[in-house]
Amino acid sequence: MGLSGEVKCALMTDFPERFSPGRLVWIKTKEGDRYPREIETARLSFPFVYVAFKGVATRNEADGLRGGAIEIPEEERAPLPPDHYYRYELVGMRVVLEDGTELGAITSVMETGGNDVYVVKSASRELLIPGIKSVVQKIDLVKREMIIRPMEGLLDSADGRRRTEPSRWSI
């Protein structure tokens, strides 16, 4: 938090032009409240953006925004190419195998550079599902469901260790 009320935000958009001065955005607090704020200034310093909002002039006022999020109205989001999704559309989605076996729900999306990885949690385990076409067979936004075909070994264990037969060789 800057002394002048500027806030440091993780840059979670592919469209940084959204932070242009004069733009009206919605602030969602960690408590879930939402209210509009106008961007006064913004400067990019990847992977962050430093934003000052009109009406937020001190560090104490900015501190009230800590843990929140900057949102835009749904109708202002940029259209994506086919088979591309906003991360918020995937979080909470059920993940099932092609045979209908439910694995859990997506709790977060990790960006790895090469491809996204979906963190899927059930009551008993956590899985990391690579967001690649050979694994993700279908995403249905209406049903809130992702159908996957796991590669060999992907679902072997919850702790990441493969469950295999003991080796016949020892040293």
Strands 145-148 and 94-97: parallel
> Which among 45, 76, 107 is the end of a domain?
76
For the domain that residue 43 is a member of, what is the CATH number?
Answer: 2.40.30
Question: How much is the mean pLDDT over the chain?
Answer: 86
Whole-structure pTM value: 0.68
Per-residue pLDDT tens digits for 152-167: 988 875 544 444 444 3
**What's the structural domain count of the chain?**
2
Asked whether the bond before 166 is cis by omega within 30 degrees of 0, the reply is no
Q: Round to whole Å and give the CA distance between 73 and 28.
A: 12
Q: Is residue 1 assigned to a domain?
A: no
Residue-number span of the structural domain to which 71 is assigned: 7-76
Instruction: Tell me, yes or no, whether 164 lies in a domain.
Output: no
11 and 66 belong to one structural domain: yes
Count other C-beta atoms under 10 Å from residue 53's C-beta. Answer: 22
pLDDT, residue 168, reads 41
* Angle CA 27–30–33, to nearest 5: 55
Q: Model confidence over 59-100: pLDDT tens digits?
A: 888 888 888 888 888 888 888 888 889 888 999 999 999 999
Q: What is the CATH number of the domain that holds 127?
A: 2.30.30.240
